[in-house]
Chains A and B, each alone.
Chain A
Amino acid sequence: MAPTIESVNQGNGGFEGNNKRSDRFVKATWKNKLTALVVDNGELCRVLERENLRAYGVETVAVETGEAAVELIASGSTFNLIFIDMYLPTMSGPEAVRQIRAMGARSKIIGLTAFITEKDEQDFFAAGIDEFFEKPLDPDWFVPIIREVDNQI
């Protein structure tokens, strides 16, 4: 069932999230400008995750590797949300998260995987993720997470 259009706006009600931000029809608006980083080696998954987040009004950047994510954050970029795949080719998802947390990043980090296993779950949470979900991104679960982050700023 397709989610209803989410609208979180300055309390004046009735605003349906119809603003065109960079030419695209955005399905939700937030109180704050929100940013996200997607880390996935698979082009298909990476593109879909990025586009899903952009469609919900989150400014999103996508990278292919754990190293690229770590470098981006080390260079000073900050993100409200990070969506990161467990299985990355060289530096693993958990290792990348460990390094990102070690740098003091307070982003909401969501670990992603194609198959959830207990061991992966333990490893990933131990590394510092906040949530763990099976792919693909579904507005049913990621929109509430975005809303929570938006409300906490």
Chain B
Amino acid sequence: MDGVAQLQKQLVDYTASLFQEGFLDEQFNQLQQLQDESNPDFVVEVVSLFFEDSERLLNELAKALEQKTIDFRKVDAHVHQFKGSSSSIGAQRVQKVCIAFRNYCEEQNIEGCLKCLQQVKHEYSLVKSKLETLFKIEKQLIAAGGSIPT
């Protein structure tokens, strides 16, 4: 198998594994479909926005949960945003933790919220690293003269 074909296969297999393992869902496909010649870096740009947003939200959540008197409405607002953004790009596992997180918020359950914060941090760092790997393979493929299979 030549270099380009090998990279293409690697890309296809890696992408498939991300879906199989539940890191990504159908929304990610929708996102890819918005990329075209007039918008060639759309996916990378949007995912970068997601990274920035998530890091900010994780900081805000940590701060909010460290307070002596926790403002659960604030925590809820951040979780709300996090769920919105993660579901919009198809980061399924992050989104699922946000759902649990919100329930604990509603119950004003501090233990539960802290646990979810750890979980969402973990899931976020996993999907971040997976997406970075995905983009790296795409870059290698393009550098080798190939194109991303649609």
Contact = CB atoms under 8 A, between A and B. Distances in A.
B38 A24 contact: yes
A42 B81 contact: yes
Interface in A51-100: 51-52, 55, 85, 87
B49 A47 contact: yes
A114 interface: yes
Interface stretch (B4-12, B29-37, B61-69, B108-116): B29-37
B84 A42 contact: yes
Interface SS of B by simple majority = helix
A24 B39 contact: yes
B27 interface: yes
Contacts of A31: none
Given A42-B81, A115-B102, A47 B46 contact: yes
Contacts of A106: none
Contact of A136 (B39, B42, B49, B88): B88
29 contacts: A2-B29, A22-B38, A23-B37, A23-B38, A25-B36, A25-B37, A25-B38, A42-B53, A44-B50, A44-B53, A44-B88, A44-B89, A45-B84, A47-B49, A48-B34, A48-B46, A48-B89, A51-B39, A52-B30, A55-B33, A113-B80, A114-B81, A114-B83, A114-B98, A115-B80, A135-B84, A136-B30, A136-B87, A138-B30
Contacts of A55: 33-34
A43 interface: yes
A139 interface: yes
Interface residues of B, number: 28
B140 interface: no
A97 to B, nearest CB: 18
B44 interface: no
B142 interface: no
Contacts of B89: 44, 48
A120 to B, nearest CB: 11
Contacts of A2: 29-30, 33
List of 5 A-B pairs having minimum Cβ-Cβ separation, nearest first: A114-B84, A136-B88, A23-B38, A114-B83, A24-B38
B85 interface: yes
